[in-house]
Amino acid sequence: MMPNVGIIYLTFPTKNWERDIDRAMRSFEQLDYPKDRVELICVESKGSRAPVKEWFEKNWMPKSGGSLPRIHYVFNDRELGFAANNNLGFEKAKELGCEYVHLTNEDTDVAPDYLTRAVECAQSDPKIGAVQSLILLGEERDKVNSIGNAFHFLGFGYSKGYKQQAASNKYQREEIGYASGAGVLVRVSAIDGSLFDEKFFSYHEDTDLSLRLKLRGYKVVIEPKSVIWHYYEFAKAKINYYWMERNRYALIFSYYRPWTLFLVLPALIGVDIATLILSIPGGWSDMKLKVYRDVFSSSFWKWIGERRRSIKAARKVGDRELLNLAVASIEFQEAAVQNPIVTYVGNPVLKAYWWVIRRLLV
């Protein structure tokens, strides 16, 4: 018998929520996974627009347990981030006895066998903690959004294979740097506590999840036979730079042992100075200064201290193994944020630096 799976689907009132939800639900109606083994857990929290709940209950709830799997609608009248909303869905999935959860973004549609293929992959090896689906672009359905995400040793992250022609590449199941939260199956028994650390709010919470799994000896893999299409749009809002920068520091200071921190410190300082300089013409220097205020606050280090203690207690691998797939180049997804200084100066220097210090990790 196939295991019970909870699809966690956030019905947040975004700009295009009605179009996105309709498209996703129509694709869920085509699932080939036994619908009596699937719980569709829709989670909504307060947003800047009118709630989705009433519209959803009118248009899609009547199909619960029929053309759609059983639907469970979780509504919270507080404004929560991506991490907290998924945690609500995760708690509901555990309550329903799900062995796996699949995080499926609101702005996606899915292949009929996407869930079947992801579960088959996870079932093939009990040490697989997370399975990312092959994520293609919704607007250009033959091009890649992510074939697994790359984790940079200084805490940056980006999608691998972005805008490659999917048909011209042969992808295989393999371990990856970290799994994208836009489309990932997670083994419930591999998670101790909540799915995400809610203080990340937005950005890098999926990196944190993958590192937690790896730290406990689990594998994080890509299953290219599990396909979803993501109507991805690069978000240029300044606040996103804040979350990306602040949260990458949280990753480094949480996971790296003192010796590793000592080794990466010169590169971390150098790149930080360069990032500050680049933030001025980029128009987000105020966000960079806000990051500094946070990182040098007592509350930030209290949070990091709590995380380090938890991570130390759960750790089964050293930093050499934890970072065995880490990269040293920063690859940009969008032309709008590309920078020749990073490409032609920063990346070669960091690659040489990482080549040396990774051999000193323990």
Q: Where are the domains of the chain?
A: 5-230, 241-360
The answer, yes or no, to whether residue 331 has pLDDT greater than 90, is no
Q: Which of 27-31, 39-43, 68-72, 334-338 has the lowest mean pLDDT?
A: 334-338
The answer, yes or no, to whether residue 233 has pLDDT greater than 80, is no
Band (169; pLDDT cuts 50, 70, 90): low
Question: So what's the pLDDT on residue 234?
Answer: 66
Share of the chain above pLDDT 90, in %: 85
Most confident of 44-58, 125-139, 153-167: 125-139
User: How high is the mean pLDDT of the chain?
Assistant: 94
Question: So what's the pLDDT on residue 338?
Answer: 60
Question: So what's the pLDDT on residue 187?
Answer: 98
CA 132 to each of CA 95, 128, 146, 196: distance values in angstroms, whole numbers, following the listed order: 24, 11, 9, 16
Instruction: Indicate the length of the chain as a whole number.
Output: 362
Of all helices (H) and strands (E), which one includes residue 76?
strand 70-76
Q: Which amino acid is at 282?
A: G
The answer, yes or no, to whether residue 137 has pLDDT greater than 90, is yes
Residue 9's φ and ψ, nearest 5 degrees, are -130, 115
Alpha helices by DSSP H, 97-156:
114-123
Question: So what's the pLDDT on residue 282?
Answer: 87
Question: So what's the pLDDT on residue 7?
Answer: 98
**CA gap 336, 348 in Å, rounded:** 21
83 within 8 A of 243, measured Cβ to Cβ: no
**Eight-state DSSP code of residue 317:** S
Residue that is written with structure tokens 């070669």 in the block: 348
pLDDT tens-digit series, residues 265-318 = 999 999 999 999 989 998 999 999 999 999 999 999 999 999 999 999 999 999
> Greater confidence, 236 or 287?
287
The answer, yes or no, to whether residue 168 has pLDDT greater than 60, is no
73 within 8 A of 8, measured Cβ to Cβ: no
Of all helices (H) and strands (E), which one includes residue 70?
strand 70-76
What tokens appear for 9 in the block? Answer: 């689907």
CA 310 to each of CA 36, 204, 254, 301, 313: distance values in angstroms, whole numbers, following the listed order: 37, 18, 9, 14, 5
| The CA-based dihedral angle spanning residues 46, 27, 140, 129, taken in that order and rounded to the nearest 10 degrees | 70
Fold (topology level) of 5-230:
Spore Coat Polysaccharide Biosynthesis Protein SpsA; Chain A (3.90.550)
pLDDT tens-digit series, residues 77-118 = 888 889 999 999 999 999 999 999 999 999 999 999 999 999
Pairing of strands 219-230, 128-137: parallel
Question: So what's the pLDDT on residue 332?
Answer: 61
The answer, yes or no, to whether residue 4 has pLDDT greater than 80, is yes
**Eight-state DSSP code of residue 346:** I
Residue 54's Cβ-count burial label (10 Å; 0-12, 13-18, 19+) is exposed
Q: Which of 178-182, 216-220, 335-339 has the lowest mean pLDDT?
A: 335-339
**CA gap 189, 168 in Å, rounded:** 37
Question: So what's the pLDDT on residue 81?
Answer: 86
